[in-house]
Amino acid sequence: MTTEDLKAFEDKIYAFVGREVCPPTPAKDAVNGAMIRQWAEVIGDTNPAYTDDTWAATSSRGQTIAPPAMMYVWGQEGFAVTTGRAPDAQSELVNLFNEHGYSGVLGTNVKQEYFKETSPGDTVVMAMTIDNISERKTTGRGPGYFFETLATFTNQHGEKIGTQRFKVLKFIPQEQPAAAASEETLQVPTRIASPRGHDNKWWWEACDAGKVLIQRCKNCQTLRHPPRPMCGECQSMEWDSIESTLEGEILSHTQIHHPKIPGYQYPLICAVIKLAEGTNFMANVVGCEPSDVHIGMKVKGVVEQVDEKTMLPQFYPA
- Answer yes or no: is 144 within a domain: yes
Q: What is the pLDDT of residues 83-112, one digit of tens each?
A: 888 899 999 999 999 999 999 999 889 999
Q: Are residues 207 and 69 in the same domain?
A: no
Domain that holds residue 314: 246-318
Same domain, 151 and 40: yes
For residue 78, is pLDDT > 70?
Answer: yes
Q: Are residues 18 and 128 in the same domain?
A: yes
Verify that 30 and 152 share a domain, yes or no: yes
Same domain, residue pair 14 and 91: yes
Tell whether 262 and 314 lie within a shared domain.
yes
* pLDDT tens by residue, 265-300: 999 999 999 999 999 999 999 999 999 999 999 999
Same domain flag for 250 and 114: no
- Whole-model pTM: value is 0.56
Average confidence (pLDDT) over 11-25? 96
Q: Tell me: do 233 and 265 sit in the same domain.
A: no
Q: Quick one: 119 and 258 in the same domain?
A: no
CATH of the domain at 291: 2.40.50.840
Q: Is residue 69 a part of any domain in this protein?
A: yes
What is the number of structural domains in the chain? Answer: 3
Residue 69 φ/ψ region, left for φ over 0, alpha for ψ in the -120 to 50 degree band, beta for the rest: alpha
Domain for residue 185, yes or no?
no
Query: Considering the domain boundaries, does residue 184 fall inside one?
Result: no
Residues 6+ apart with CB under 8 A from 98: none
Position 80 confidence tier, pLDDT thresholds 50, 70, 90: confident
49 plus 123 within the same structural domain: yes
Beta strands in the chain (DSSP E): 20-26, 104-114, 125-133, 137-139, 142-154, 160-171, 213-217, 223-224, 239-243, 247-256, 268-275, 280-285, 298-307, 310-317
Residues 266 and 284 in one domain: yes
Residue 40, pLDDT score: 95
251 shares a domain with 238: no
Q: Is residue 178 part of a domain?
A: no
In a domain, 116, yes or no: yes
CATH of the domain at 150: 3.10.129.10
Q: Is the dihedral of CA 277, 280, 286, 291 positive or negative?
A: positive
* Residue 221 domain flag: yes
Domain boundary among 138, 171, 204: 171
Q: Which of 234, 307, 314 has its CA nearest to residue 270?
A: 314
Q: Is residue 199 part of a domain?
A: yes
- Which of 114, 136, 171 marks a domain boundary? 171
